[in-house]
Amino acid sequence: MKNIVILISGGGSNMAAIVKTAQRDNWHDKFGARVAAVISNKASAGGLVFAAENGLATHVLDHKAFASREDFDAALASVIDRYEEPGRPVLLVLAGFMRILTSGFVSRYEGRLLNIHPSLLPAFPGLHTHQRAIDAGCQVAGATVHQVTAELDHGPILAQAVVPILPGDTADAIAARVLTQEHRIYPQAIADLLRHQ
């Protein structure tokens, strides 16, 4: 069985979309894959409730309890690696996980570490993407699913979705429009990856 481990920090709506698609499309039989666990760096992350209600293992690793980024990432990796099965490395999915990972962590999981970012990369890596798109006079916004590499919000692009920026839009309005598309492209990109493995 290929185990998928999802990392979250907040509401976890992308995680929920992935879990629902995996159930609906029977990734278990189709790809020999399942979402095995959800890990949050915040105990208050709303997504943990959904994950537990859906029978997934949940873990909280509070980054503030660790002296350094390296220590946190080492603890994170040791939890993730519990889900490895012989010959079947974990697929690691960042879904609103708001921590910068060390290059050591990224290289350990490189090629099987995915992220979704709320902009049309390579435009607007980092934070406040929708406000920056408004300020730049962009007419479209969007989201990108990409492989994670050492450079923040870079790495090979697997899927993108575009939405319009409408007159008078706030960053929140764009975020909601983009999020709907995220829920479509992220599960689809993961299914495409599983299909070709």
Q: What residues make contact with ligand GAR under the rule CB under 6 A?
A: 8, 10-14, 95-96, 116-118, 143, 179, 182
Q: Which of 117, 130, 146, 183 is catalytic?
A: 117
Q: How far apart are CA 133 and CA 6, in angstroms?
A: 28
Nearer to ligand GAR, 118 or 155 (CB): 118
**Closest distance of CB 40 from ligand GAR, Å:** 10
Contact at 8 Å (CB) between 93 and 21? no
Give whichever of 54 and 88 is closer to ligand GAR, judged by the CB atom: 54
59 noted as active-site residue: no
**Which 3 state secondary structure label does DSSP give 140?**
strand
Q: How far is the CB of 178 from ligand GAR (least distance, A)?
A: 6
Length of the chain: 197
Min dist. Cβ of residue 32 to ligand GAR (A): 25
Cα 22 to Cα 31: distance, rounded to the nearest angstrom: 10
Q: Judging by beta carbons within 10 Å of its beta carbon (0-12, 13-18, 19+), is residue 127 exposed, middle or buried? A: exposed
* Helix/strand number for the chain, H first, E second: 7, 7
Nearer to ligand GAR, 43 or 67 (CB): 43
Which positions are annotated as active-site residues? Answer: 117
